[in-house]
Amino acid sequence: MSRTAFVFPGQGAQAVGMGKDAYEASARTREIFSQADETLDCKLSDIIMNGPDVLLKQTVNTQPALLTVSYALLELLQERGYKADYVAGHSLGEYSALVAAGVMSFTDAVRTVRARGSFMEQAVPGGRGAMAAVLGAEREALAELCRTISEEAGVVELANVNCPGQIVISGTAEGVAAAAERGKEAGAKRVIPLDVSGPFHSSLMKPAAERLGEVLRGVAMKDADIPVIANVTALPVQEAAVIRELLEEQVYSAVLWEDSVRWLANQGVDTFIEIGSGTVLAGLIKKVDKSLKVISVNSMASIEALGSS
């Protein structure tokens, strides 16, 4: 039996003007953007539409902006009768997945991710942390190298296990630099430093996770209508209490994206609909299993094309 998963992108997928044609064509989209502005008491919609890029790239803006665009496009899809058997999101995208699964309201989610972005930015002083994409390394060998370097030079850990041959590492500036220098020991062909404001998804984010935990305890959550694949475990979860705990852990734990895609494929999911800015997840999913069908819904035009295909 054919099954479908809705998947939602995270930080790095943002672009000034994302969702613009949907905003211009749909009153519901404009309403959602206004809701975000009112909830955060700022002109987030103006930052999304007009930038500048440097403002959109600030984690505290990026996170609610991506969530808002993903939710607006999700609503347009659902209006047309599209449904999913499972949902998943990459890091920040997990919040879009939780809104899609009925766990939390959009306004609660947008308020929470604004706080999450702020806590993540503040957790480690500027310049002390770093992240890098490691291409071509073998996962276990890279994990072992990171363990060794963490003892010798400074914390460095696997942050995003995206697909075969693409793993992001995160930690102290010294730890990440040492891992980049010695990457060939784990089979790395290239190591690319990432332009980020902190060592996300590493143990250095535990202070941010604790602060986020306090916020999450005040957010109304319901059990999920459909299974959500958690980043931390790459397994389905539906109980609100467990989701709350996993969201706190997610801030300092690796995003197991490759494992999540493989688990979904093993359940018979053969169609992934990526909902939100860009096509980042489509590329990763195809690298995990090129037989999977991936559709990127990132504009009104892509929704209309979906209807005519």
Q: Identify the H or E element spanning 140.
A: helix 139-152
Catalytic residue of the set 45, 96, 201, 302: 201
Distance from C-alpha of 102 to C-alpha of 98, rounded to nearest angstrom: 6
Catalytic annotation on 201? Answer: yes
Q: With b meaning 16 or more CB within 10 Å and e meaning fewer, what string describes 110-131?
A: bbbbbbbbbbbbebbeeeebbb
Scanning the structure block, which residue is given the tokens 């990526």? 274
| CA distance to 35, 71, 106, per residue, from 25 (Å) | 17, 16, 21
Catalytic residue of the set 91, 150, 253, 277: 91
Tokens at residue 177, please? 């630099």
Q: Is 127 left (phi over 0), alpha (psi -120 to 50) or beta?
A: left
Closest CA to 32 of 81, 8, 68: 68
Catalytic residues: 91, 201
